[in-house]
Amino acid sequence: MWEYTDKVMDHFLNPRNAGEMENPSAVGEVGSLACGDALRLFLKIDDKGVIQDARFQTFGCASAIASSSVLTEILKGKTVAEAEKLTNKDIAAYLGGLPKEKMHCSVMGEEALAAALKNWRGEAAPSPAAEGRLVCKCFGVTEETIRRAIRENDLKTVEDITNFTKAGGGCGECAPELESILADERARMASAAPGGRRMTNIQRMTQVTRIIDEEIRPALKKDGGDIELVDIEGVKVVVSLRGACVGCP
């Protein structure tokens, strides 16, 4: 049983602004019923770019309902410029926190808001191809979505990735690829840190090895597994899972 804050339970049991909106200025949709989570966000925006009303429809768990409910409350009265700055961390903070396994619900709120604002501007919704290569087929999560979650939330383990994006939470077939993406993105983040310079191939390999040894391998060894660096092809990191982690979800 998940441990929820009083605010989460309040917004779950007494959701604010639930239901469809007539003549909305913008609509943002994310997720899918097939994946078990879906959110549709409606916004009413006036001529001055101020959000006058916000409503939602969702299919999901208590965290999904609470995240959607509190998001609509946060948005009311904000300008579009202010709304653009909202992140999943803000949504979780307003709720007094979410279980780490449910952080993807707040991410879904952030993504629905971004989709709604694109719709308001008349921008076309990104095609699947524009979102990048599909990595997790069970939940329809692309590589770019995974990389963005790693960067924006400083994710350090595959478990973190699953908690924030649901990738790897189904059959587990994508687990080795998630390890590769994680190692590569962490190395990129390190090289892009203030004062960082463009790394040579040797520096990149050293950095990737350090991240695997210090951040990824310890977590895998707790479950009797291990990870081996196979190769680095440009910016692509290839790894192989060992021990109990071979074929694990």
Length of the chain equals 249
pLDDT in tens, 218-227: 877 777 778 8
What percentage of the chain exceeds 90 in pLDDT? 46
Range of the domain at 168: 134-243
177 in the same domain as 92: no
Amino acid symbol at 135:
V
* Inside any domain, residue 126: no
Given 55, 89, 121, the domain boundary residue is 121
* Inside any domain, residue 12: yes
Is residue 138 part of the annotated active site? The answer reads: no
CA-based torsion, 42, 47, 50, 52: positive or negative: negative
Given 70, 92, 121, the domain boundary residue is 121
pLDDT of residue 232: 74
* Domains held by the chain: number: 2
pLDDT of residue 247: 57
pLDDT in tens, 83-141: 999 999 999 999 999 988 888 899 899 999 999 999 999 987 665 555 678 898 878 88
161 in the same domain as 107: no
Is residue 105 part of the annotated active site? The answer reads: yes
CATH of the domain at 71: 3.90.1010.10
87 in the same domain as 16: yes
* Inside any domain, residue 213: yes
138 in the same domain as 49: no
Q: Which two tokens stand for residue 176?
A: 């080795």
189 in the same domain as 158: yes
pLDDT of residue 236: 73
List 105, 136, 174, 245, catalytic entry:
105
115 in the same domain as 144: no
SS3 146: helix
pLDDT of residue 101: 85
Question: For residue 33, what pLDDT band results from cuts at 50, 70 and 90?
Answer: low
* Inside any domain, residue 57: yes
Neighbours of 161 (CB within 10 A): 31
140 in the same domain as 115: no
CATH of the domain at 184: 1.10.10.1100
